Structure 1
Amino acid sequence: MLEKKEFEIPSEKFKKGATVYTDSDTPVKAAIIYFHGGGLLYGRRKDLPRPHLNILTQAGYAIIAFDYPLAPAAKLEIIMNDVESSIQYYIDHSDELIESPKSSEGSLPYFLWGRSAGAYLCLIAAAKGTYTQAPAGILSYYGYGFLCDNWFKEPSRHYCTLPKVPESALCVIPEGIHADGDLDTHYSVYVYARQQGNWIDLFYEGREKFFYLDYTLRACDKLPCPLFCAHSTGDTDVPFSEFTELSNKYHAKRFIVSGTEHDFDRDTENPFTQKVLDETVAFIEKCLNK
């Protein structure tokens, strides 16, 4: 049976929490640290569909979903520092977060899992490699490393087909640093940013040179662990060319979906959803059994 526990995580900047999912009938053999998507502008940690939670926890993996601060109130340096601190928090406090006989012997092996922007955060965090325990693998669902030019700095063809969102949408979201970005208030800001082609301006301040050096994968030749990448061929948010560059650069295990949905696994009836979860479990098992 799926069990859920809530934890308050120390943070000076905002109210931060984590949700831990386990299966009461299955011993935990590894942890999956999860970060949600939403273009760094919207979303919440409790966005995983029930089938994802059931399949992964029943396979023996605890899922720990952490909050992180959202742009534009928090810029990328603050966001990344928080994500990195969440990963280290797991390493230092795994025995408190997960009840497992193995956790008493030290931190369980862990995987970083993100969807879309969450995958981007996992990839950049892993590339920095500053943790006392390295991840055993990275699970990137339609993630990116800003490896290809222009797509993130130009008006999106897809989003420009939607009704135009005015700049006043920015006035609706809170000014203070926060982690919960409701679709009703925050999603329109992402649409506005993609229509205008000014997306990165909402989450990064500084010289473009340092964005490419510090917050993309362009200068990272090797990740500290194996990578699993899932992507749609006609993804409307993140071009397939970005997936190709990412998976080629790090020799990733690929899962390719024929379709145009960005977050294809949101549809739990989609046969690709079951398949990607099965492939995810197989990837984790292979990493653990090396």
Structure 2
Amino acid sequence: MKQFIINPDQKINFYKSSSNRKNQTIIYIHGGGLLYGNLEDLPNEYIGLFLKSGYDFLTIDYLLAPESKLTEIRKSVYDAFTWFKNNYSSKLRLESNEYILFGRSAGAYLCYQLMAQLIMEKSKLPNRMLDFYGFIDLNSSKLKKLSDYYKQYPVPSDDVINSMIMKKRIYEGDIHTRFLLYVASRQKGLWQKYLINSVNDQIKLCLEQVPPTYIVHCTEDFDVPFSISLNKKFKFKNSNLISINKKMHDFDREVTEESLTVYNNMINWLQEK
């Protein structure tokens, strides 16, 4: 793995496949509700499956809320993507800039926002999209609803919440401290307020132009409702929806035989003509 600093404090991790090369790069964007997380959150076992199958793998970090708003977050993702396009040959030593987007949860949302921007610019879209329990519209009524699941947790005081918000922009946030910030935002209906100043901050995605997409989602997801992915399945031109019968959100957080099977099946789908 090689790490590159592309902006002050913004990093990219790059893993190059050494066999069965496909000359395509998986660009991965992590989750964390846009409030926490880092570019190393995907277990190495999953990355290894992509590398073994011949795909190069690139992970990025991005600005986090509430220290930064969605417009700034989107720009940081776009900056990382532009760095890849401009440096795939000179710095990454790749023969091709063909790519596939992969996002988990809020990372999938940022993938869709990136695609929306690329569509506006008439730029090349990814060959395929890998969407694990993600969403398209941050303003969806299903995401604005106060979370019954998170209501079971003690409600932190405003002082505790404010103590978690930094005085400067940040590109990574420790889950052990920042997760409480996310919980509070879903309890109090603050999540969208942390991210959006106006409806124009979010770019509307042309669903008909989304490339072939592999969607994985738990049927009893307590965070991002399964119905959101079911809706994508019917509205995207070409998609596969894999339902996991569990009451979980990030079912692949721990590496298990079941999760490895899901990833292997997804990679098999990538290699279909």
Query: Shared fold (TM-score greater than 0.5)?
Result: yes
Question: Is the contact made by 1:232 and 1:260 (CA closer than 8 Å) also made in structure 2?
Answer: yes
Q: Which AA in structure 1 matches 2:195?
A: F
Q: Counterpart of 1:78? A: 72
Please tell me whether residue 163 in structure 1 is matched to residue 136 in structure 2.
no
Q: Aligned in 2, Cα 1:97/1:35: closer, same or farther, shift over 3 Å?
A: farther
List per-residue Cα deviations over 1:127-183 (Å, max 9, x = no partner).
Answer: 232364321111111100128842222210111112222233232232211101111
Mark the runs of 5 or more structure 2 residues left unpaired by the alignment: none
Does the CA contact (< 8 Å) of 1:147 and 1:216 recur in 2? no
RMSD between aligned residues: 1.9
1:112 is aligned to 101
Number of equivalenced pairs: 269
Partner letter of residue 159 of structure 1? Y
1:81 Cα deviation after fit: 1.5
TM-score by length of 2: 0.92
Q: What displacement does 1:198 show?
A: 1.8
Task: Tell me how far apart the structure 2 counterparts of residues 186 and 46 of structure 1 sit (CA, whole Å).
Answer: 16
> Structure 1 CA distance, aligned partners of 2:195 and 2:173?
14
Distance in 2 between residues matched to 1:191 and 1:216, nearest whole Å: 27
Q: Using the alignment, how far apart are the partners of 2:270 and 2:91 within structure 1? A: 20
Question: Is the aligned partner of 1:17 residue 2:6?
Answer: no
Contact 1:88 1:132 in 2 (8 A): no
Please identify runs of 4+ aligned residues in structure 1 that moved more than 4 A.
none
How far 1:254 sits from its partner (Å)? 1.3
- 1:20-53 Cα shifts (integer Å, max 9, x gaps): 1124445352101111000000000011102111
Q: Percent identity?
A: 30
Counterpart position of 2:132: 141
3-state SS of paired residue (1:95): coil
1:258 maps to 2:249: no
Confirm or deny: 8 A CA contact 1:142 1:262 kept in the other structure.
Answer: yes
The whole-number CA distance in structure 2 between the counterparts of 1:234 and 1:97 is 43
Q: Which amino acid aligns with 1:178?
A: I
Unmatched segments (≥5 aa) in structure 1: none
1:200 equivalent in alignment to 2:200: no
- State the distance in 2 between where 1:64 and 1:151 align: 31
Residues 16/163 of structure 1: CA separation in 2 closer, same or farther (3 Å cut): same
1:122-141 equivalent positions in 2, closer than 5 A: 122-128=111-117, 129=119, 130=121, 132-141=123-132
Question: How far apart in 2 are the matches of 1:261 and 1:59?
Answer: 28
Does the residue aligned with 2:102 lie in a helix, a strand or coil? strand
Letter in 1 for 2:24: A
